[in-house]
Every structure is written in structure tokens, then in C-alpha cells.
Amino acid sequence: MFLLKAIKNLIFGTACCLTPVTAVIALGWLMRYMRSVALNRFEVDYPASESIGWIMGPKGHGVFLRCFGGFCRNIIVGIGGAMSLLLVTLPFTGLWALSWWAGWENSFNKGYEQAWVGPAVGVTGVGIGLWVMAHLPIGLAHQASENRWFALFELRRVRQLVGLAGWRYVILSLATVFFALPIFAARGLPVFAEGIIPGFSDFSEAKVEQVSGVIAVIKAGYVFCALVFLRRWAARIYAAAVIRSRRVVPESGIEDSKKANWFLRTPHLVILLIIWFGFVVLIFFGQFLNNSWLFWINHPFLVLPWMP
């Protein structure tokens, strides 16, 4: 039963991750999955009305909701998640895109007089991005668990939970960068296609499209599987941090939540930012392999689970 369910989720998830429109559905499903994991950690039964389905909804809510309830819920939750993620990431991803234009492309077109603009804008974007990305996995788990649009922007609460998560959150961040490596490698496939697939340059147009389609499915499948693993992990860490924030230390009567900021005031934060800097490096170097303006705005681990 578990194996059949996993195969079904893999098929639906991979299919949804193939396009930016359907990726909203995958994002919605992932957020509902995170909510389920977190509530189970809280030892709260996940309501039947919130059962995680790709298309069908729970019984007892009418024919339409029974047939399409899961599909509609995935869209609604996915739109909310996409809006929040886009709003929180666009301030730095937009600067990255502008930096690339003002730096690399401007220099390539001999605009040396404004050469300082690209690096200056890029460094600013990286600074903002590191701070946001260091909080993003817990923030997204918070929005998913609370089931409220823009709960991601409750910055004080998210920061507190990051502090309470401690070293487990650092390991999760390191794993995120590790799982992003194949995505970085995939950016170079068009450049090194001839070396990987001998005779690729002699393929007919139909054959090239066929190979490209297979590669797209493999990439979508990888993105979905990696995100299921990482989002589940993030939800469990989030739930543990929430439980700790409610705990009272008997000896002193001081809540653990008041001790949350110790983590963010120590070298641990520096380590966390260095790890996420590695993620930024993968994005920037990936553009040298295969430049795509869409990839500046959307990395599958940051916004929509879709590779441009």
C-alpha cells in the first residue's frame, strides 16, 4: 500500500513539476504534506477534510469536492505559497538578475564605464538573499502548518524558531545545498551534451526533442523527490522547534522561547550563512553554464518546483 502510494505521488509530482503552471499544484501538495508532517509531530490528527490528495477530496463533502477537492485545495494552497515565496525572494533574485545584466552582459558588450554597477548590485542582492534563505525553510513550514497566506512574513516568530532549531537546522541547510548540486550539473547538459551523448549534434530535430523530453522528466522527478525529502525534514524540525518554544524550564520558570536568539547571536549563524552562500554560488555559476533569466527568479528549491 505504501509503495503504491509512493509511486502514485512520484508520477503526479513529476508530471506537475514539468511546467511552471502545474508546478503551483506540486507546491500546494508539498505544503499540505508539510502541514501533515508537522501536525503529526504535534500528535494532532490531520483532519479528514485536509487529507492529501492530488485530485480527489475526502468523502462526505459533496460530489464535486469528492471528485476534485484535492485538486482545488492544491491550487489554492499552491497559489498562496507561490505568492509568499515570490514576494520574499524577488527583492534579492531581482537584484541578481539586474547584477548579471549590469555586470557580465554589460562587460561582454564593452560597457566598461559602468562596470562597478553589476558587482555592487550583486553583492547587495547576495547579502539580502543569504539572510532570507537562512530563514526560508522554517518560514515555509510555518506557513504550511499555520495554513495562512503570508504567515511566512511573521519574521519575529520565524527567526525565533530558527534559533530554537539549532544544529539540526544547520544540517538541513547543508543537505539543501548538497541536493542542489545535481540541479547545478543539469544546467550544463546543453553545453556538454555532445560529450555525454556521442553524436548528439547529428541527431534529427525529432530525436533531439525526444531526448530533451526524457531529460525534462528526469529533472522534474528529481526535483519532486528531493523536495519531498527536504520539506518533510524541515516540517519535522519546525515542529520540534515549536514544541520547544512552548516548554517551560522547571528550575527557573523561563520559557525556552526566550532563549531562542542565542543561536542567532553566535558563530552558528555565520556557519549557516556560509552554507547558504554555497547555494548562491551554484546559482551564479550555473548561469555561466546556461544563462536563463527565469532561473534568476525561480530556483526549484526557492519558489516553484520547476526547472526553467
- Furthest C-alpha separation in the chain: 75
Q: Which pLDDT does position 254 carry in this prediction? A: 45
Q: Which domain holds residue 264?
A: 90-297
Taking the model in full, what pTM does it have? 0.86
Residue 17 is assigned to a structural domain of this protein? no
Whether 38 is in a domain gets the answer no
pLDDT number for residue 253:
43
pLDDT for 193 equals: 64
Residue 66 lies in a domain: no
Q: pLDDT under 70 in the chain at which residues? A: 1, 44-51, 59-66, 104-118, 190-197, 199-202, 208, 247-265
CA distance 185 to 276: 18
Structural domain includes residue 60? no
Domains held by the chain: number: 1
Secondary structure of residue 284 in the 3-state scheme:
helix
Contacts of 227 (CB under 8 A, 6+ apart): 30, 300, 301, 305
pLDDT of the residue at 70 = 85
Degrees (nearest 5) of the Cα angle 115, 94, 100?
30
Q: What is the pLDDT of residue 248?
A: 47
Say what the pLDDT of residue 104 is: 65
Backbone angles phi, psi at 299, to 5 degrees: -100, 140
The reply to whether 3 falls in a domain is no
Helix axes 155-165, 167-187, angle to 10 degrees: 100
Is residue 11 assigned to a domain?
no
Give the Cα separation of 147 and 79 in Å (integer): 12
Which residues are registered as beta bridge partners of 255?
248
- ∠ CA 165-279-290, nearest 5°, is 155
* 266 secondary structure, DSSP code: S
What is the Cα–Cα distance from 11 to 131, expressed in whole angstroms?
35
Q: What is the pLDDT of residue 33?
A: 93
**Distance, CA of 254 to CA of 22 (rounded, Å):** 47
Best CA proximity match to 7, nearest among 300, 304, 224:
224
In a domain, 62, yes or no: no
CA distance 250 to 259: 14
> What pLDDT score was predicted for residue 260?
56
Predicted local distance difference test score (pLDDT) of residue 249 = 46
pLDDT tens figures, 121-136: 888 889 999 999 999 9
In a domain, residue 305? The reply is: no
